Amino acid sequence: MSVEAGRKILEDERIDILQIDEDVFEKAWLVYQSFLDKEWSFTDCTSYVLMKNISIDIGASFDDHFNQFGFTTLPK
């Protein structure tokens, strides 16, 4: 089932797949190191930087970490 979902995402022209580059990696690493009191993963921090870079403020996530970043997320 996950492979089928992945194929649909990859084939959907309305979905942009974002890749991280060195700049995004470095910014995410700074965020990750700056908030050791949080339980944010490095992946969370990378998503945060990517979302900020393209002015996304609403995430399709149930993850409370995105609320801590200041994004709007899906209700539980």
Rounded Cα distance between 7 and 3, Å, is: 6
Rounded Cα distance between 20 and 49, Å, is: 9
pLDDT score, position 71 = 80
Rounded Cα distance between 54 and 56, Å, is: 6
> Could you tell me the residue range of the domain that residue 6 belongs to?
2-69
Say yes or no to pLDDT of 25 above 90.
yes
Query: Residue 40 falls within a domain, yes or no?
Result: yes
Say yes or no to pLDDT of 26 above 90.
yes
**Crossing angle of helices 22-34 and 42-53, rounded to 10°:** 120
What CATH code is carried by the domain that includes residue 53?
3.40.50.1010
* pTM: predicted TM-score of the whole model, two decimal places: 0.74
